[in-house]
């Protein structure tokens, strides 16, 4: 899977723009992965929400196609504890990179809501929900649209985390806020998928900043 990731690099025209574009051609032919990545985790000020979140049960809900986001979810879980749930679709995405890139683009253009196999039967138990995903064409993979239109996260604390190859969160946080308009958002964390393995310290600092580290 690392090999698959190493096959491409991403050109995002302006990383800071919410609508940074994902160019498939650049993925296949573009920038070397060794290029300096500006991986800047965002640290928010402590909020009353963080204080509230500390006391409650935590769910780490994530989608991952090639494993980067799954790995990041595991790193968060090590520090925060709680339960982990992987969002799965009924019809799995193709493993082939070009094929999944095309499928995801078509889904997004069609505004598709792919059928999901994941059920959140005990969502009421959780106060804090980490939501993790790869940036797919500038936002969340469409299965999250299916999920979050089905399950109501009103009143919960939501913390996004994202892996990508240059576009950072893209417009995903804006989309997430639209999908969960009555949730309370804390600062999220983003990292290049190819650098998840060396993100441990940044993850720790982010989690500590949120006040969510479990007592060890």
Ligand X SMILES: Cc1cc2nc3c(=O)[nH]c(=O)nc-3n(C[C@H](O)[C@H](O)[C@H](O)COP(=O)(O)O)c2cc1C
Contacting residues toward ligand X, per CB under 6 A: 5, 10, 12, 22, 64-70, 100-101, 104, 134-138, 163-167, 170, 193
Least separation in angstroms between residue 199's CB and ligand X is 11
CB atoms closer than 10 angstroms to residue 59:
21
Smaller CB distance to ligand X: residue 127 or 165?
165
Least separation in angstroms between residue 185's CB and ligand X is 21
At which residue do the structure tokens 């609508």 appear? 19
Smaller CB distance to ligand X: residue 124 or 200?
200
Least separation in angstroms between residue 3's CB and ligand X is 12
Smaller CB distance to ligand X: residue 68 or 128?
68
Least separation in angstroms between residue 70's CB and ligand X is 6
Smaller CB distance to ligand X: residue 96 or 125?
96
Smaller CB distance to ligand X: residue 53 or 66?
66
Least separation in angstroms between residue 214's CB and ligand X is 24
Nearest Cα to 177, choosing from 150, 158, 200? 158
Smaller CB distance to ligand X: residue 103 or 207?
103
Least separation in angstroms between residue 114's CB and ligand X is 13
Least separation in angstroms between residue 16's CB and ligand X is 13
* Side-chain-side CA neighbours of residue 99 (13 Å): 6
124-127, long-range: CB within 8 Å, 24+ apart, which pairs? 125/57, 126/56, 126/57, 126/58, 126/59, 126/82, 126/83, 126/156, 127/52, 127/53, 127/55, 127/56, 127/57, 127/58, 127/156, 127/157
Q: Which residue is nearest to ligand X (CB)?
A: 193
Q: CA torsion, points 77, 78, 83, 85, in degrees to nearest 10? A: 50
Smaller CB distance to ligand X: residue 75 or 100?
100
């Amino acid at each position: 899977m690392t090999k698959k990731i190493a096959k491409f690099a991403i050109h995002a025209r302006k990383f800071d723009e919410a609508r940074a574009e994902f160019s498939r051609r650049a993925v296949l032919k573009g920038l070397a992965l060794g290029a300096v990545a500006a991986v800047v985790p965002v640290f928010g000020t402590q909020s009353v929400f963080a204080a509230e979140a500390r006391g409650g049960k935590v769910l780490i809900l994530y989608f991952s196609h090639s494993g980067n986001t799954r790995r990041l979810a595991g790193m968060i879980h090590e520090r925060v504890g709680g339960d982990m749930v992987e969002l799965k679709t009924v019809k799995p995405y193709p493993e082939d990179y070009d094929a999944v890139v095309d499928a995801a683009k078509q889904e997004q253009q069609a505004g598709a809501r792919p059928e999901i196999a994941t059920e959140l039967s005990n969502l009421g138990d959780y106060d804090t929900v980490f939501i993790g995903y790869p940036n797919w064409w500038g936002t969340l993979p469409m299965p999250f649209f299916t999920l979050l239109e089905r399950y109501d996260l009103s009143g919960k604390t939501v913390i996004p985390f994202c892996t990508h190859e240059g576009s950072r969160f893209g417009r995903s946080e804006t989309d997430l806020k639209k999908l969960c308009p009555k949730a309370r958002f804390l600062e999220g964390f983003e990292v290049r998928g190819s650098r998840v393995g060396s993100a441990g310290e940044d993850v720790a600092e982010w989690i500590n900043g949120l006040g969510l580290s479990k007592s060890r």
